[in-house]
Amino acid sequence: MTHPKDAIRHDDSASTLEPPTRMLPIIRCIGPGLIVAGSIVGSGELIATTKTGAEAGFSLLWLIILGCVVKVFAQIEFGRYAIVSGKTTLRALDEVPGPRIRGRGNWLVWYWVLMWIASISQLGGIVGGVGQSLAISVPLTQRGADYNEIADAETLLQFQRYAPDDITVDVSQAEQQIAASKKNYRDQHQPPTSETIPSETVTAENITAANDAAIWAIVVALFTSAVLWVGRYGLIQSLATILVASFTLLTITNLYFLQDQPDFRVSLAEFIHGLQFRLPSEPGDGASGNARPIGTALATFGIIGVGAAELVVYPYWCLEKGYARFVGRDDGSTAWLRRATGWMRVMQVDAWGAMVVYTFATITFYLLGAAILHRVGLNPEKDNMVRTLAVMFVPVFSQWASAIFLFGAFAVLYSTFFVANASHARTFSDAMCVVGLIADDPQTREKWIRWLSGGFPILCLLIYLAFPAPAQLVLLSGVAQGIMLPMLAGAALYFRYHRSRPELTPGTLWDIMLWLSATAMLVTGTWTVVEKFLG
């Protein structure tokens, strides 16, 4: 990896670097936050956040914003300790007091393993979402094309029922046409025992979907496996930045022009209502009978912004970017203290800058879900998740909505899949070192990072093929991460008060915000346990 352009090589070491002091050179040295944002603006924002808006309407906007902002303080504490100590997150977590197995890690490391299982399942949902977006835009079989035609017609009809004044359509005739199309589909693609279903009972469950999404998921997983096998940090950072930026701008544009649509614009009163600390009633009155907005919101809180997985992985990217190496080993000198202070400032700019990006994107996705999907009565689920999400672009882009959204969905979902697999390879190989499964040396770890980078996309694919329900897989990870949030909050406080150099300790205001962050994470974790296991 090349050194940042504006960093000045330190005279006493070949690896340490003086930190930049002006804002423009600092911005040129950021990067880890952009990689994490590439992972965040996908499963959390596009799927979980939008689904929460579809189920709850505007009432949980405050929770979405809180979930993005409040966890950054803990994130920076993890990054601070990584820069000062040069230790990875799991090695740092292994220092936290509590039950442990000697030489095999402590309680935090072992719960992380459980959370990792849910996180890799989330990526199974993500590769399924990528497969869905490609299957809709480029069907591989005639059966897939026929299925797309019927499913698109059903989804559009649901939208048309909401806005009959703006779209002239005979709903009864449209239902009859869909029923006839489904009968033809069954006659051509399903066993002859299938029964004809009256038009008044037509639903998306009456026909069997094609396998195009699974085929595309296989292609995507194999391609990603090959790219990550030979990939490097710079490639990952550049790809994540480009994909996330492109769709974020597209989504913001969509929300802006939505204000010209009387049926779907977001009013100031609705926005203010969403900022009030209220909970929606159960079940949700907008999306579907299966909606559980509070449960969905809890899972979403654990996954949006820097979720537990991103809190763990962020220091790894800081180390790979070189921040700790540039600071050098703590020799007690004023030069080391100056470098540590400067590079921690770079890390803070990186973390807060990424927070602005993904918070703005998160709010945008949530408002679109509340303004369109909730009002129309659509809930992104199962095989029609991506198709349902595409409806958010119909009021503005009309017949171009599907093509535009599918490009964006592919961009952010694939960015998440790509970045998260690269992140998992680094954290899991480190975990194997911590629990004593592999030798604890750089050469062994690098070898396993390469092998796991190639193997994890295939594992995600197998999970999706076994459980083809992308939204549910994503929310499962949100629950597991929500439970781990208070554990990580406690670890952040431990690093602050027991692993900080006195010269580098933050001020009173920072401590207050860190405690508020930890409290919010504790409440979320406790609420998640009560809602999911005791409710």
Per residue in 424-452, pLDDT (tens digit) is 999 999 999 999 999 989 899 989 999 99
Q: Which residues of 88-117 are buried (b: 16+ CB within 10 A; e: fewer)?
A: bbbbbbbbbeeeeeeeebbbbbbbbeebbe
Predicted confidence at residue 323, as pLDDT, reads 95
Q: Does 154 reside within a domain?
A: no
Predicted confidence at residue 475, as pLDDT, reads 72
Alpha-carbon distances of 386 from 125, 129, 315, 519, rounded to whole Å? 11, 6, 32, 35
Number of domains in the chain: 1
**Distance between CA atoms of residues 275 and 58, nearest Å:** 8
Alpha-carbon distances of 236 from 116, 223, 231, 422, rounded to whole Å? 21, 14, 7, 8
Looking up residue 309, the CATH number of its domain turns out to be 1.10.4160.10
Q: Does 408 reside within a domain?
A: yes
**Distance between CA atoms of residues 277 and 273, nearest Å:** 9
Per residue in 130-173, pLDDT (tens digit) is 888 888 888 888 887 877 777 777 777 777 666 545 544 556 66
Q: Does 429 reside within a domain?
A: yes
Q: Six-digit token pair at 330? A: 């703590």
Q: Does 188 reside within a domain?
A: no
Q: Does 205 reside within a domain?
A: no
Q: Does 148 reside within a domain?
A: no
Q: Does 41 reside within a domain?
A: yes
Q: Is the alpha carbon torsion for 525, 298, 128, 367 positive or negative?
A: negative
**Distance between CA atoms of residues 217 and 136, nearest Å:** 12
Lowest mean pLDDT among 112-126, 195-209, 298-312: 195-209
Beta bridge partners, 17, equal: 9
Query: At residue 470, what are phi and psi to the nearest 5 degrees?
Result: -55, -45
pTM: 0.78
**Which one of 147-151, 208-212, 367-371 scores highest in mean pLDDT?**
367-371
Q: Six-digit token pair at 156? A: 């559009």
18's enclosing H/E stretch is strand 17-18
Question: CB atoms < 10 A from the CB of 195, how many?
Answer: 7
Statement: residue 494 has pLDDT above 80:
yes
Q: Six-digit token pair at 427? A: 């954290």
In the chain, count H helices and then E strands: 23, 2
Q: Which domain holds residue 370?
A: 8-141+211-534
**Mean pLDDT score of the chain, rounded to an integer?**
81
**What Rg, from alpha-carbon coordinates, does the chain have?**
24
Q: Does 202 reside within a domain?
A: no
Per residue in 85-120, pLDDT (tens digit) is 999 999 999 999 999 998 899 999 999 999 998 889
Q: Are 448 and 268 in contact (CB under 8 A)?
A: no
